[in-house]
Structure 1
Amino acid sequence: MSEMQELLSDNLVFNHIPFPIIIMDKNGLAVWCNRHAERIFQIESETVKGKTSPYMNPEKAASLKQPWEAILHNREPIRFEDVELELTDGIRIYTTVVAKAFTSEQDQFVMAIFEVDESQTEGSASRELDSLRQGLDDSFMLLYFDEEFLITYANPLFLKLSKWTPKRILGKPIWQMFDDETDDVHLVETIMVTLKNGNVWNGEVKKLKKDGEVYWVDLTAIPMHVPGEDAYYIFLEKDITATKNAQQHLEEIAFIDPVTGLENRHRLEQVVNEFIEEQKHFSFVFLDIDHFYTLRDVSETDTENQLLIEFTKRLRTYFSDSIITRAGLHEFALITPLSNWFIEGFLHYLQQHPIYLHGAAIPMTVSGAITRYPEDQQTFVHLIKASHATVKKVKDRGGSAISMLTADDHEQLNRKAQIEKRLIHALDRRNLQLLYQPQVNLKTGAVERVEALVRWNDSEVGIVPPNELIPIAEENGMIHEIGLFVLETVCAQLKDWNSRGLDLHVSINSSIREFRDKDMSTALMKQVELHGCDPRSLTIEITEKFALEAEAERSIIRQMQQLHQQGISFTLDDFGTGYASFRYMLLLPISSLKIDRTIIQSITRQEKMQKMINGMVQFGKSLDFQVTAEGVETNEQLELLRAMNCDSIQGYIIGHPMEARELEKWLK
C-alpha cells in the first residue's frame, strides 16, 4: 500500500483534480486524501489514515441505501445524488459523491470523489484551478490523446523539445513519437493497456524527436473518464535526458559484461579510439548471432545465458590473440590483426564445435562484417555504422556469412546518411516534385489515368529516384510526410484540372506503414473533400508485399474497404515480382493489376516468358481485373500485349513522366 500512497501523493494530477478525493480500504478506513479534501474537510492526510471518515464509510453507504460490499464488488462507479455533508465549520452542503472500487497489490480500495462546488465555501477555486492548470502547462510537457490514442493537444514545451509542429503531430497516433524496435513497441502497448484498464502508468520512456534524435522523459500517463463523454488520456512528461545519459555513463564505467565476462561496448569504444590515436592498423569484426530471438524464445533465461557463455568460449579459443567484446544482446565485436580468410573460417569452426545444451546441439550461425582501419573507415562511429550496414546485407541474403564492406557499400552508406538529413529540410520546404506518367487504353487509345511519381532533385545529394527515396523514408518513418505531400499535391492538381475541364484520373503509390496509421482513411478523405475532388478520380497502388501484410491486419483491410466504398479504387502494382496470393485478392478491394516492368522487358526474349505474361493477363481478366502492363518501351512489346488482349499499357513508348504543364500540352 505504501507504494500506492507514494504514487498518489506525488502525482500532480490527483492533487489538481478540482474535487475532494478520499481513498479507503475494504473496511472503510481512510488511507489517503488529496489536497482539496484536506482544505475543504479541514483534515490532514497523515492524521486521517486508519480512521473512519465521516464523509464516506460503510455506515454512510448503508444510509444512502447502498451496501458497502456492493460498492466493493461493483466494477462500475456508483453515484450518490444529493448527499448531505456537514463541514467542520458547521456549513451543510448537498453534493454528488462518486464511489469507485479498485484493486492495488491484490488489496481492495474504494475511491470517493465529492463533487463539491467550492463556490459554496470560503473562496472560489476557479481562479486557483486556472493557475494550477497554467502551472502544469508551464512546468511539464503535456499531451492529450483521444480514445483511439490519436494526439489531440501538445503544449509549447513539448513542441519545443521534440521539434514537432502542430501540423505534423496533431491527429497522429501515439506510435509517431516512438521507435519501432521490439522493446519500444512492447512498452507502448503496455502503457495503452494500462490506461484502457483505467490505471495510471508511470515510468521512464525513450522517445524520438522529429529528426530521429532520442530523448528520455519521466512519464505519468493518466486515463480520464468523464461521465457521458468519451475517454481520453493525458501524458505529463519531464525531460530526464541529461540524467539518463549520466546514469547510462555510470553503468557503462563498469566495463565488464556480467554474463560473458567480456569487456562491454563502452570499453570497446575506448580501445578503438586508443588504437586510432596510436595509428594502429586493425580489422574491426562485428558478429551477430543469427535467429537469436528464436533461440531465446525456446529456452529459459539460464539456458540463454549458458548459450552466450558457450559461444564466448569458442570466440576466446578461435580469436585467442584478439580483443573480444560484447557489443549488444546478441552482438560481439573484435579488434584483431588477423587476415580475412582466417576470420571467415570462424563459421567452419562453429560447425566443427557445436554448442550442446541439455544434450541437444544448438544450430548456431553468425552474420558478420569485417571493416578495416584505416582503409575502410576512420572513426569508431563510422566503423559501427559500416558494420551494421554489412551485417544487414548479409542477413538479407540469409545470414551465416562474414563479409567485408566494399567501396560501393561505403559510398551508399554515406549517401543514405546525407539523404536522411536533407529529406527533413526538403519536406519542411516542400522541395519534392510530382511527375505524371500516362496510362493508355489499348483498344480506344484514350488516356485512362496518370500515375503520380514523386521526384526529388536536391542541391547537395542530386537526383534521388523513388527506388532509393522510398525505402529510406519507410525505414526512418518519413514516408508519412511524403505520402501527405503526394496526396495534397494530387488533390490540388485534380481540382485545378477539373476547373479547366480536364477529366483525368490519378493513381498514387502507398506504403503499408501509412495504412498502419488508424486515421489514414479519414485523413485521405479529408484532403479529397477539402479540394472538392471526386474520389472516383483516385486510385491507390499497393505492392504484393503490402497486400500480403494487409491480409493479416484487420484494421488495414477495414480502411481499404472504407475508401473503396467512397469510390477510391485499388491497383496491385509490380504484379509478378512479390508474394502472389489468391487469398488477399479475395479479401482486399483490388480492381486492377499492373504487371511489373522487369517482366515486360523480357517479353520479346523468350517464348516461355510470353506464355507466362499471357497467363498473367488471362488470370487477371478471369477475376474481372483491369490488366495494365508497365515499362512498355518498344512497338514489338506493344503488339504482343495487344495480341494478348491486355487492357492498357504504361511506359516510354507512350510518354515519360512529366510535369503537370508538360502533360497538359502532351494531351493536346
Structure 2
Amino acid sequence: MTTMQPASKELPPLDEQLYILVVDDRRLDRESLVELLRAYDYQVTGVADGDQAREHVNTHRTDLVLVDMVMPQKDGIEVLRELKLLHPELEVILITAYATLEKAVAGLREGAYDFLTKPCPTDTLIAAVERVREKKKLQWIIESAEERLRRSEYFFHAILESLGEAVVVIGRDMRIISANQGYRHQTGREDEEIIGRHCYEISHGYSRPCWLEEEGCVCAVIRCFQDGSHHTAIHTHRDKEGNPIYVETNAYPLRPGDGQMIYAAVETIRDITELKLMEEEKQRKEVEVYRLAFYDPLTGLPNRRLLLDRLGQAFAASERTGQHGALLFLDLDRFKNINDTRGHQAGDLILREAARRLRATVREDDTVSRQGGDEFVVLLQYLATDDATAIKQAGRVAEKIRLALSKPFQFSECQGDCRFHLSASIGVTLFVGHQLSAEDLFKYADTAMYQAKQAGRDTVRFHDPAMQQALEEAEELERELRRAIDEEHFALHYQPQMDAHGRLLGAEALLRWVHPERGLITPLAFIPLAEENGMILPIGSWVLHAACAQLAAWSGRPGQENFRLAVNVSPRQFHQPNFVGEVEEVIGSTGIDPRRLKLELTESLVLADLNDTIVKMEQLRALGVGFAMDDFGTGYSSLAKLKQLPLEQLKIDRAFIRDLENDPQDAAIVETIIAMGRTLGFEIVAEGVENEQQLHFLQQHGCHMFQGYYFSPPVSAAKFEKFG
C-alpha cells in the first residue's frame, strides 16, 4: 500500500494523560481502585456519589468515569444519564456484579462505553481504560484532521493501525477507503479484498445497502453523511465465512479544511458478541424460570399458582361487570387403573391429549389448568349476569367437556392395545365478584365433582342443588323444544291493532308453544333459549310461513283491503345470508300481497350490523314489505341512525305505557317519542294499552294506533275473525 510522507507542519501535542474519576459509595473499594490506577500513572480522583461526580466533572478535566452500579441514592444508571446529559463526550465505564447484568446492558444502551464485573482482574481493568485512551486518541486525530486540513495519509494510516478496535474509513459512495488491522482481523479479509468495495458487501455480506435489506435498520454511516453528526448503531456483521458478529458501530464525519461537505466517515466497530450472547442466555433462563413457576411441565397448562392469579383477575372483572364466572373441577374416571396397568407412558399420553381437548373446548378468555395427577380445573369468565342463563352456559360447557373426554383415546406411541376409553366426573360452582374466596370456590367445585362420581361417574354436578335442578330443567326444556320443532307444536295468536274508534287496522302475529302437558307457553319462556342454541331459525321460519299463510286466507275478507299483519323477526334470523330470499319465496308460495306484510325489528337487531340491516331492508321494501321498530325507547338508537332506516312505524314499548298516568317521566318519554316519530314521518303504535286513561293521553298527544288488552288479548285465528 502506497503512503505519503507526513507533512512538515507538526500537529499540536497530544496529551496522553488520562484523567479518571472513580464514583463508589464504599470508601474502601473506592480508595483501592484509586490507588491501583495511580500506580499505572493515571490522574485519578475518587468521590462517593453522583452529586459529587457532577460537581467534579463540571470543574475539572475528566476523560473517564468509573461508576459503581449499586449506590444508595442514585444508582450507576442515573449517574450515567446525568453525566452524559452534561458532557456527551465523556466516557463512562460501569462496574457491576453479575447479579446486576441486566442494568449493565441497560447502561450500555444509555451510552456507557463498557462495563466490568466484580471482582475485576487488574489486566482487564487496565485494558478497558487503555481502550478509552485509544478512543480519545482517535477523537483527537479526527478533530485535528478537521482543523488542519487532515494530516498526511501516512500518518493517518499509522494511527489507524495503532488502534486496537476495528476502524474503517468509508466514502460517500459507501465504498471503503481504508481499513486497519482490527477490521481486517474481524472480517477475515486482507486489504485487497476490502479497499474499494462497498461497506455493506464486506461487513454484512449484502449486495445492496443494509437499510434496504433489514427492516428498521439504522446505519450510523449514512446518518453521519446526512446530518454531519456522530452516530451509533447496533448491527449484526458477518465475517468472510458468514458467521454472525454482533457489533456496536460509531461513525464520525470527515470534512476538508474548508469545513464544508463531508467527504468520508470514520467508523469504529466494537465486537459485542459475548455481551449479546450473555443477554440472550439470561432472557432464555428467565423464560424457563417463568415457565417452570407457572406452567405444568407435562401438559403445558397453567398450574395452580397461575390459576389462582387468573382467578383473582376473574373476581375483579366479575365485580366490575356483574357477570358470573364458573369453576369446573374435573377428574378422569378410571385413569388410575390405566396408569397402574399400562405404565406412566400411556398415562402421560392420555393427560396430554386430555389437556389438548380441554383447550379446544373452551374460549380463549377461559383458563384450563392441571392441578396434578388426573385432576383439571377450568375457569370460565364473562358468563351472563342473571343466574339462570349463567347456569345454562356453565352447564353447556361442562357437557361439551364431558363429551370431548368420553371419546376414545388412541395413540401410536405406546405398545400393545393403545385405545383407551375414559370419562370425566365434573363438578361446577358459580361465582359473582368477591362473594366467595378462592379456597371456598375450590372446595365447592371439588365437592360437586365427588357428587358426580357418586352419581355414577361420567356426569356433571353443580355444588348448589338449586343450580343443578335449574340445569336439569333447562336441559329438559331444550329437549322438549326440539321435539316441538320436529312435530310443529306451535300456534299463532293475533292481537288486533285498532284506531281510537275501534276500527281494525291490522294485527301482530304472536307465537305460542302448544305443549301437550303444560298447554300454551308464551315466548318469554322459550325464545331466549332458542336464540342461544340456534333453534330460533327453524322456529322463525315456521312463524313467517304460518303468518303469511293466514294472511293469504284473510285476503278476501271484505273491508280489509288496508289490513296489515306484523311478524316479529329475531336478530339471528334476520342476519342469515338467505333471509331476503326466504321472505321472497314465502310471498310467492302463499300468494299474499307483500304490502300487507310488516316485519317488526328490534333496536338491538338494527344496531348489530347497521349496514347489513339497511341493505336487507331496502331489498325487502322493493318487494313491498313494510317495517316497524318494535319496543322503541328501550335501546340506544340515535336519530342519525334512525333516519337511515326505511321504517314506517315506531312501536312505543309497553314499559312506558304501563304507568303512563302515574309516572311523569314515562309520560314525558312517550310525548317525546310521538313528537319525534311524527317529525320523521313515522306512524306511531302504542303497545300495552290497558285502560281508557292511557288511550285518552295517547290520543291527546298525536298517537292514533293502539294495541293492548283494552281492545283484546292475543287470540286464535278463529276468534280474531270476529273483529272487523
Q: Return the TM-score normalized by structure 1.
A: 0.44
Q: Return the TM-score normalized by structure 2.
A: 0.41
Return the structure number with greater strand share: 1
